[in-house]
Chains A and B, each alone.
Chain A
């Protein structure tokens, strides 16, 4: 080892300045005069030159992975607005794959308009994926909303949660049959069969479109079915009095 013989930094600076031609003429002449007589200085300068040569050789030597530069692609020249420029340049800056025209660049007439900045031929792809992502998020949000809505109407509805009231009385209107008309004026009668436990078949003569109380105190109501258009006779046993609903009810 030769650390003790290491010359000071000032000497290296002198050698470097001399070799680089950065030394003033008077100092240069003095340095050359010293070189003629000083064997140590000559050796130091030779060592310096050898180090520079070795370093230069190292810098120029092949670097590992050089073949990978062939995978890089050439950015293309397309003029766009400043706004596009900032977006596209920043995207291309982060991407190692600029476009697909590395080995066979084919400039089109619209693409040879001047340099300005970088544009990639794959520049639209990021926008496609952004739009696709936005659509996917929208669909996911819509589906989630639907799911929550159905879940709320089933599990979270007040009627399915004991002890929870909304404070609003909801009255569901029920379709009620119109009160039987008392059309006593019609004379036409119909023959119907009445089935009871004691008398399975009993023929009842009932005026059409009427309701009345027969001699046994039974209510007989004639109705017509909307769907089929057929008629039906209702016979209600028991002592009933027909009574019109009052306004208060």
Chain B
């Protein structure tokens, strides 16, 4: 069953429909929460808060939009609130320890480069504010436009664009530096 129909059923009190949505999107929500919080425990707390909020607000979903993107905006907003209430930014970035998918024809050097690049992006992300990370996530992960992001986040679209450009510029700067260093090493 598609998301919007499940959401409509859940809004009418169908527990199974709601449970299906949770099971379908819990990993997505956790992943997005982690990319904003950069902390496992925080991401888990945010995930639980998101589904509790979803339970309260699912009746407000109009049923015509993109449910996943709507859930993404809830996640981003709650993640920012959560981190703001805790007044914490990741002082120590948890280095990702997720298993690397290895295909038979994967080039080991390419895999290594990819992992190093992920690690560098994580470090750059840790320099940014939770709001900047949330903006990037909604823009690049959910393909929401600056205006839409601004409406959900309660900030002007112009500020969304500025944050986005600065963040990507910073990431690019770090990756470019590493790329140049790598070329010099060869």
Contacts and interface: CB of A to CB of B under 8 A. Distances in A.
Interface of A: 1-3, 6, 9, 12-13, 16-17, 20, 22, 47-48, 50-52, 54-66, 68-70, 72, 74-77, 79, 89, 92-93, 96, 98, 101-102, 105, 107, 111-118
Contacts of B34: 63-66
B172 interface: yes
A76 B35 CA distance: 27
A105 B16 contact: yes
B19 A115 contact: no
Interface of B: 10-16, 18-19, 22-23, 26-27, 29-32, 34-35, 40, 43-45, 47-49, 51-52, 55-56, 58-59, 94, 96-99, 114, 117-118, 121-122, 125, 136-137, 140-141, 145-146, 161-162, 164-166, 168-169, 171-173, 175-177, 180-181
Given A9-B166, A16-B168, A59-B141, A105 B98 contact: no
A22 B146 CA distance: 9
Contacts of A74: 18-19, 22-23, 51
Nearest to A54: B117
B117 to A, nearest CB: 6
A47 B177 contact: no
B99 A115 contact: no
Contacts of A117: 55-56
Can you list the 6 inter-chain pairs with the closest CB atoms, starting with the nearest?
A107-B15, A63-B34, A51-B172, A105-B19, A65-B40, A62-B98
A60 B141 contact: yes
A64 B98 contact: yes
Contact of B172 (A47, A56, A58): A47
Nearest to B172: A51
Given A16-B168, A58-B35, 20 more contacts: A2-B177, A9-B169, A61-B96, A64-B34, A64-B94, A69-B30, A70-B26, A72-B26, A74-B18, A89-B56, A96-B44, A101-B19, A102-B19, A105-B16, A105-B18, A107-B15, A115-B11, A115-B18, A116-B59, A118-B52
Given A68-B40, A75-B51, A105 B169 contact: no
A47 B19 contact: no
B55 A17 contact: no
A56 B43 contact: no
21 contacts: A9-B169, A12-B169, A16-B165, A47-B176, A54-B171, A58-B125, A59-B136, A59-B137, A62-B31, A63-B98, A64-B98, A66-B98, A68-B30, A69-B29, A69-B44, A72-B26, A72-B51, A74-B23, A76-B15, A112-B15, A115-B13
B45 A96 contact: yes
A113 B43 contact: no
Contacts of A57: 114, 118
B168 A9 contact: no
Identify which of A50, A77, A116 gathers the most chain B CB atoms within 10 Å of its CB: A77
Contact of B13 (A22, A75, A77): A77
A48 B172 contact: yes
B140 A56 contact: yes
A187 B91 CA distance: 114
Given A55-B168, A56-B141, A59-B35, A77 B55 contact: yes
Contacts of B43: 63, 65
A89 B52 contact: yes
Contacts of B99: 62
Contacts of B19: 74, 101-102, 105
Contacts of B117: 54, 58
A93 to B, nearest CB: 6
A113 B11 CA distance: 10
Contacts of A52: 140, 168
